[in-house]
Amino acid sequence: MIQSTDASTADDAFAADLLRGHTDTIVLGALRGGDKYGFEIYRDIRDATGGVHEIKEATLYATYRRLVRDGLVEAYWGDESQGGRRKYYRITDAGRAVYRRNVEAWVATRDVIDSLLRPEGRS
């Protein structure tokens, strides 16, 4: 188990691994409230972790493409007249269903891990 006094880098790696393992679900979650383009999704994730952790944008680009291929999100180009055109993502009904299922699975797993990794000194 990771001691909190050990090294903060070990904590970081642990948390970053966990985050990365749920990238698809995190992106789906970020899109639930409305359509977003890549940087908005990235910023939402970064800000949600208080800027401590981030999922690299290169990872996110691969995720978007996988989600589009599986029909969980739809992509469309915005109509910005200035600068680069932004590619927006919209969650589909399939995406919402998968999101719900993944969150349920996460809650169940979290409970198991919570009971297995109980901090010392507590029963």
Partner 1 sequence: MTTVHRLLDGAFSGVVLTPELQDLKEEMRANLLARVAELEAVGVPPAESARRAFDELGDVQALIETESGLGPDAGSPASASAPTSGPASAPTPRSAPARPAQSVAAAAQRNKVRPHPGFVVGVVLAGLLALGAATVLALTVAGVVTGAALPLCAAAGAALAAGWIVTTSLLQETSSNHPLPSGRALGYGLGSAAVVLGLALVASGLGLGDALVAWFVPAGVALVTGVVVLSWLGATQTNRKKAWVREIAAEQMAAGNRFEEDPDAAARFGVYTAVIWIVAFAAFLVLGFTAGWAWSWLAFVGGFALMMLVLARLLFGERKDQDRGSHRD
Distance of CA 114 to the CA centre of its chain: 20
> Smallest gap, in angstroms, from Cβ of residue 97 to partner 1?
3
> Smallest gap, in angstroms, from Cβ of residue 111 to partner 1?
23
> Smallest gap, in angstroms, from Cβ of residue 10 to partner 1?
21
> Smallest gap, in angstroms, from Cβ of residue 31 to partner 1?
11
Residues that bind partner 1 in the complex, under the rule CB under 8 A? 37-40, 42-43, 56-59, 61-62, 65-66, 69-72, 74, 80, 83-87, 90-98
Instruction: Select 50 or 84, whichever has its Cβ closest to partner 1.
Output: 84
Instruction: Select 90 or 110, whichever has its Cβ closest to partner 1.
Output: 90
Instruction: Select 56 or 118, whichever has its Cβ closest to partner 1.
Output: 56
Question: String of b and e for 1-22 (b: at least 16 CB within 10 Å)?
Answer: eeeeeeeeeeeeeeebeebeeb
Rounded to whole angstroms, the Cα distance separating 46 from 68 reads: 22
C-alpha angle with apex 115: 112 to 118, nearest 5 degrees? 140
Residue 69, classified by CB atoms within 10 Å of its CB into exposed (0-12), middle (13-18) or buried (19+), is exposed
Instruction: Select 14 or 39, whichever has its Cβ closest to partner 1.
Output: 39
